[in-house]
């Protein structure tokens, strides 16, 4: 059987997601140079590998192996404290340029709808974000690390908003119709408004304008919840994987709303802490369910409904512990790391 993207990159994403968070939380290894290291690896390591496994369906096995090798080298270079900064920057840039370029080309070759042009544009943000991050690492721009981090996170969240929103909307509408109900039509104006709010909010954060960012991201979070509310008639007719994706969208909405409220001092919690509802709960749940769903579809296996729901519950628990466990961080944060790792391990494909 020919090597396929998901069978290569999903295990890499799981391995990095589990090993990285456990080493960072319990062993203090690999030692980060700054707090943004963790965010960088979750964006350009874990999330980019999931994106590669999901999107790089038309690449030759040799090119897949080259990209995977570059990704692995980047993770090693970014994780070892003694790696020279210029060399580390080159290693980091290679997969952050190569994977998005191949993914964007796949979209441009296959897309026939103007609405799908948003995907290659969003994917192209990853190389830009990595360039800005490394410019900060190399002391070329003082705000580069923060700008790259926020733009990269924005690209991940916005891609999930569009992809996850469309998958959930189509699946729920189909489930309702099969149950004898009326079709739930897609509302493209909601998606476009959400895109504008999220893009504007994360660009504002990258530009160090927290006030406008808080307002825009709160609006984006509210639109997540509004889109979900419109799909509630199909909730009880939906299978486990769609319920998991809906939960991921809900976490994204709640996390962005909470982040905005905290940034505007309407919530007595640090904004970054509350943002973990969106990153762990939203990104973690959505990427995990998408991996399980993609493996089942492409390998023609049964959907592991119990694993999907258990993994979603663990991710939700991890998000809550990390966001609201500030009073007992020595207990809550390690527990969150363990829950995250256990959830990811549930995505490992079982033989047979």
Asked whether the predicted pLDDT for residue 352 surpasses 60, the reply is: no
29 assigned to some structural domain: yes
CATH number at residue 74: 1.20.210.10
Band of residue 310 on the pLDDT scale cut at 50, 70, 90: very high
| Per-residue confidence (pLDDT) for residue 176, from 0 to 100 | 85
Mean pLDDT of 304-329: 95
| Per-residue confidence (pLDDT) for residue 42, from 0 to 100 | 94
Asked whether the predicted pLDDT for residue 209 surpasses 90, the reply is: yes
Better-predicted residue by pLDDT, 233 or 270: 270
| Per-residue confidence (pLDDT) for residue 237, from 0 to 100 | 85
Residue 335: which residues within 8 A CB-CB, separation 6 or more? 318, 321, 325
Asked whether the predicted pLDDT for residue 28 surpasses 80, the reply is: no
Weakest-pLDDT range from 151-155, 158-162, 186-190, 274-278? 186-190
Better-predicted residue by pLDDT, 110 or 345: 345
CA distances from 108 to 104, 118, 121, 170 (A): 6, 10, 10, 22
Asked whether the predicted pLDDT for residue 33 surpasses 60, the reply is: no
Asked whether the predicted pLDDT for residue 5 surpasses 90, the reply is: yes
Band of residue 41 on the pLDDT scale cut at 50, 70, 90: very high
Residues in the chain: 352
| Per-residue confidence (pLDDT) for residue 78, from 0 to 100 | 84
Number of compact structural domains in the chain: 1
222 assigned to some structural domain: yes
58-84 tens-digit pLDDT: 899 999 999 999 999 999 998 887 889
86 token code pair:
């210029």
Asked whether the predicted pLDDT for residue 350 surpasses 70, the reply is: no
This prediction has a pTM of 0.94
Residue 283: which residues within 8 A CB-CB, separation 6 or more? 42, 47, 156, 157, 160, 248, 252
350 assigned to some structural domain: no
By residue range, what is the domain housing residue 66? 5-345
Q: How far apart are the first and last CA of the chain?
A: 15
Asked whether the predicted pLDDT for residue 115 surpasses 70, the reply is: no
267 assigned to some structural domain: yes
What mean pLDDT value characterizes the chain? Answer: 91
Better-predicted residue by pLDDT, 127 or 162: 127
Band of residue 108 on the pLDDT scale cut at 50, 70, 90: confident
95 assigned to some structural domain: yes
351 assigned to some structural domain: no
Q: How far apart are CA 40 and CA 126, in angstroms?
A: 11
| Per-residue confidence (pLDDT) for residue 94, from 0 to 100 | 97
Weakest-pLDDT range from 9-18, 116-125, 192-201, 202-211? 116-125
191, 170 contact by CB (below 8 A) = no
Better-predicted residue by pLDDT, 113 or 11: 11
352 assigned to some structural domain: no
SS (H, E, C) the chain: CCCCHHHHHHHHHHHHHHHHHHHHHHHCCCCCCCCHHHHHHHHHHHHHHHHHHHHCCCCCHHHHHHHHHHHHHHHHHHHCCCCCHHHHHHHHHHHHHHHHHHHHHHHHHHCCCHHHHHHHHHHCHHHHHHHHHHHHHCCCCCCHHHHHHHHHHHHHHHHHHHHHHHHHHHHHHHHHHHCCCCCCCCCHHHHHHHHHHHHHHHHHHHCCCHHHHHHHHHHHHHHHHHHHHCCHHHHHHCCHHHHHHHHHHHHHHHHHHHHHHHHCCCCCCCHHHHHHHHHHHHHHHHHHHHHHHHHHHHCCCCCCHHHHHHHHHHHHHHHHHHHHCCCCHHHHHHHHHHHHHHHHHCCCCCCC
| Per-residue confidence (pLDDT) for residue 111, from 0 to 100 | 63
Mean pLDDT of 99-110: 83
């Amino acid at each position: 059987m020919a090597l396929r993207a998901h069978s290569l990159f999903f295990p890499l994403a799981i391995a990095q997601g589990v090993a990285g968070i456990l080493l960072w939380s319990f062993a203090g290894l690999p030692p980060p140079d700054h707090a943004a290291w963790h965010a960088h690896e979750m964006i350009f390591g874990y999330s980019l590998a999931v994106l590669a496994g999901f999107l790089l369906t038309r690449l030759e096995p040799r090119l897949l192996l080259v990209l995977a090798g570059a990704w692995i080298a980047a993770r090693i270079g970014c994780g070892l404290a003694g790696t020279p900064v210029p060399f580390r920057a080159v290693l980091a840039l290679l997969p952050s340029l190569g994977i998005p370029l191949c993914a964007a080309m796949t979209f441009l070759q296959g897309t026939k709808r103007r609405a799908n042009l948003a995907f290659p544009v969003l994917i192209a943000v990853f190389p830009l974000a990595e360039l800005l991050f490394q410019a900060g690492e190399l002391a070329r721009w003082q705000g580069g690390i923060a700008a790259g981090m926020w733009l990269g996170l924005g690209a991940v969240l916005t891609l999930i908003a569009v992809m996850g929103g469309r998958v959930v909307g189509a699946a729920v509408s189909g489930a309702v119709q099969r149950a004898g109900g009326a079709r739930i039509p897609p509302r493209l104006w909601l998606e476009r408004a959400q895109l504008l709010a999220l893009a504007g909010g994360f660009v504002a954060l990258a530009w160090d304008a927290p006030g406008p960012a808080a307002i825009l991201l709160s609006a984006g979070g509210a639109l997540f919840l509004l889109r979900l509310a419109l799909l509630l008639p199909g909730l009880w007719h939906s299978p486990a994987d769609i319920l998991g994706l809906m939960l991921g969208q809900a976490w994204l909405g709640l996390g962005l709303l909470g982040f905005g409220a905290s940034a505007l001092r309407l919530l007595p919690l640090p904004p970054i802490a509350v943002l973990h509802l969106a990153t762990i709960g939203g990104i973690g749940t959505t990427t995990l369910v998408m991996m399980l769903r993609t493996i089942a579809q492409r390998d023609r296996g049964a959907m592991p409904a119990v694993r999907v729901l258990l993994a979603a519950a663990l991710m939700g628990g991890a998000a809550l512990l990390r966001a609201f466990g500030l009073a007992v961080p020595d207990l809550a944060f390690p527990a969150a790391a363990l829950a995250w790792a256990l959830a990811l391990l549930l995505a490992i494909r079982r033989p047979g």
